[in-house]
């Protein structure tokens, strides 16, 4: 990603894309028509641990904002890394209506820490099999965060 770019998208509560800015469309390689109404995981790269997305969903469904590093897949098979911030969106009456995400270029030094962690999480998920994958990846993450005496949000914000 270019350093001054911000990717913006909005989804409904089920993760279907309602809006994507021009930079999102550009990087994804999909047309606006292909993105709108599609599940946001249309850009999920297979190198991303499922357990990271479970953490993301647990966080935002709990009404909190999520910060994290995500490897996204382009329509042509290429990829790009982002530092993502995802927040719940509410109606004026306070009802959850969806999610708002802003992504920017990650720091290279942060990716040097995140990539090996995600590889270890993904390996644990693969070894555990589909039924226990998320729990296995989450345990790798917990163990690593315990070593650093932190939680995921503080870890990613601090690197």
| 83-104 pLDDT tens trace | 999 999 999 999 999 999 999 9
pLDDT-derived band at 54, boundaries 50, 70, 90: very high
Q: Which residue range is the domain that position 44 belongs to? A: 6-158
- Give residue 15's pLDDT: 95
Average model confidence (pLDDT) for the chain? 96
Q: Which of 56, 99, 105, 115 is nearest to 82 (CA)?
A: 105
Whether 134 maps to a domain, the answer reads: yes
- Give residue 61's pLDDT: 92
Whether 1 maps to a domain, the answer reads: no
Tokens of 113: 């820490």
Domain count, the chain: 1
For 50, counting Cβ atoms within 10 Å of its Cβ (0-12 exposed, 13-18 middle, 19+ buried), the class is middle
| 12-31 pLDDT tens trace | 999 999 999 999 999 999 99
Whether 141 maps to a domain, the answer reads: yes
The yes-or-no verdict on residue 127 having pLDDT over 90 is yes
The yes-or-no verdict on residue 35 having pLDDT over 90 is yes
The CATH number that applies at residue 140 is: 3.30.450.20
Whether 64 maps to a domain, the answer reads: yes
- Give residue 1's pLDDT: 82
Q: Are 152 and 138 in contact (CB under 8 A)?
A: no
Tokens of 111: 């990716």
The yes-or-no verdict on residue 36 having pLDDT over 90 is yes
φ/ψ region of 158 (left if φ > 0, alpha if ψ in -120 to 50, else beta) reads alpha
């Amino acid at each position: 990603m270019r350093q001054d770019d911000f990717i913006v998208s909005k989804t409904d509560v089920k993760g279907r894309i309602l809006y994507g800015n021009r930079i999102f469309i550009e990087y994804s390689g999909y047309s606006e028509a292909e993105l709108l109404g599609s599940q946001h995981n249309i850009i999920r790269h297979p190198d991303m641990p499922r357990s990271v997305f479970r953490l993301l969903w647990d966080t935002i469904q709990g009404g909190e904002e999520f910060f994290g590093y995500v490897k996204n897949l382009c329509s042509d098979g290429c990829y790009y890394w982002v530092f993502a911030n995802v927040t719940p969106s509410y109606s004026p009456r306070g009802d959850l209506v969806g999610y708002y995400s802003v992504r920017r270029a990650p720091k290279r030094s942060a990716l040097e820490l995140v990539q090996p962690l995600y590889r270890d999480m993904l390996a644990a998920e693969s070894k555990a099999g589909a039924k226990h994958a998320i729990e296995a990846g989450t345990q790798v993450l917990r163990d690593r965060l315990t070593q650093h005496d932190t939680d995921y949000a503080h870890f990613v914000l601090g690197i």
